[in-house]
Structure formats: structure tokens, C-alpha cells
Structure 1
């Protein structure tokens, strides 16, 4: 029954992080929709999201990575409940950044002029806040 316990533990951590961010934790429809907005692969079904929330399934690694970036946590913690050391976390962050930047220009090019302007100003604001 170790596998079932791991799935339930994953579900608990997922719900915990969703709640921490103030998001609906018991709506598989919402979770599937929000996840699919961030995921470039085959969209997940509502049933898949339901299985994550109910402790019946754990996402594969590429989906875990997306969930971790979205929820601003390490994929290691989300999957296993363990924290990364600083060196692992730095490598993990670089990996997430590469995934995000690799397709950013393609997505940005598809935006309207107004949307591009909003993104540009958002980036400027974020950079000025870091100073």
C-alpha cells in the first residue's frame, strides 16, 4: 500500500499549495483548466485532475515540473515532500527558466499589440521592483 500512500501524500501537498495561494482546491475542472493554460503538451482531462486531487494518481515528471513552477515550489517537495539543497534548487530553477524562455518568443509573437505592450510594461515594473 506504499504507492497509495504516496499518491495520497502528493494530493495533500498539492491541495496545501493550492490553498496557500487562495485557489479552489476541490475543483478538478478548475485545476485542469488552469494547468492546461500553462502546459504545452497534451492537455490533461478533468478526470486526470480529479485523480491528482483525490490521491489516485501522481503526474509524470513533465507535469510535476509545470505544477511546481506554477505553485512556486520545488518539484522534489511536491512529489516526495522533501526539500532540495541550495545547489539542487539552483539547477532546478535554471531548468524551469529555460523551459519558460524557450517558447516565450513564439507565444509573445502571437499576442496582439496591446497585449505585447502590457507584457512589456509588466516586465519593466517587475525589474524596477527588484532594484
Structure 2
């Protein structure tokens, strides 16, 4: 007897949680998953509800989103979806931002006056220090 769709979704959920843990994202709430995923995905944003369904095994993301998840988490898309190809890619130390997002951010920051650009730089510095502190580096 073959694996059921319900079993496939539950197994995907377990692999997703494992990959999130290996990427330093534990504990990971649905809100955090949606937020972090949307930072690296250039398509339509994922809702909190969709991320929750992935985490509890109610649904499996589309192939496009699955590929983004796998790249972001440093695992094989085939392994994440089907549990095969245990080989993993070395996880990135920081989230990869796609080129369009980077260009958009650069363009918006460049439109700010000097004072506001300095505020943004200060905020970024604080966030990087916090991230480094949280990752134990």
C-alpha cells in the first residue's frame, strides 16, 4: 500500500522542521517562517496561514516555493518534498536577498535625505549586532 497524501504532508512537515532547526531557525513560529520566507522569495508573499499549514502538515508548498525554501534552508528540494536525496548543501550564514529586492531597497534608501539614511544605517547596524548575538557568533 502506498503512502497517503496525509502521510506525505506530515512527512514534509517533519522535514521542514528539521531543516529549519539545522538552519538555526528553532523555535520557528508560523509568523517567523512566513516573514523570513518572504524576505528571500521574490513572488507573491506567503501568508501566515499558508506557513502554518506547511508547519502542521496540512499542505505542501508549490514547486516554486519549495525550491525557494530548499535553497534558503540549504537542503535539496527533492529531499524536502519527498525525503529522498539526504545530501544537503552547506547552509548559508545569512539569508540570501534576491537581486530585485536588493535593487528596490537601494533605490528607496537612496531617495532618503542624509539624516534619514544615517538612521537607517544605525538600525541596520543594530539588527546585525542582534543577529550575531542571537546566533552565538
Assess same fold via TM > 0.5.
yes
SS in 2 for 1:48: helix
Aligned to 2:48: 46
Aligned to 2:80: 78
Where does structure 1 lack aligned partners over 5 or more consecutive residues? 90-99, 116-131
| CA gap 1:24/1:84 in 2 versus in 1, 3 angstroms | closer
Aligned to 1:95: none
CA offsets 1:20-71 (integer angstroms, 9 cap, x no match): 1221344000000000111111111101000000010000000000000001
Where does structure 2 lack aligned partners over 5 or more consecutive residues? 90-95, 111-116, 122-137
Q: Which has the larger radius of gyration?
A: 2
SS in 2 for 1:44: coil
Scaled by the length of structure 1, the TM-score of the pair is 0.66
| CA gap 1:80/1:25 in 2 versus in 1, 3 angstroms | farther
Scaled by the length of structure 2, the TM-score of the pair is 0.63
Contact 2:42–2:101 (8 Å) recurs in 1: no
For 2:6 and 2:56, the matched residues in 1 are separated by: 11
| CA gap 1:25/1:61 in 2 versus in 1, 3 angstroms | farther
Q: Which of 16, 19, 39 is matched with 1:17 structurally?
A: 19
Contact 2:20–2:28 (8 Å) recurs in 1: no
Instruction: Give the total of aligned pairs.
Output: 100
Contact 1:26–1:53 (8 Å) recurs in 2: no
Following superposition, which runs of at least 4 residues in structure 1 exceed 4 angstroms of deviation?
A: 112-115
Residue 62 in structure 1 maps to residue 55 in structure 2: no
What is the CA-CA distance between 1:109 and the residue it aligns to?
3.5
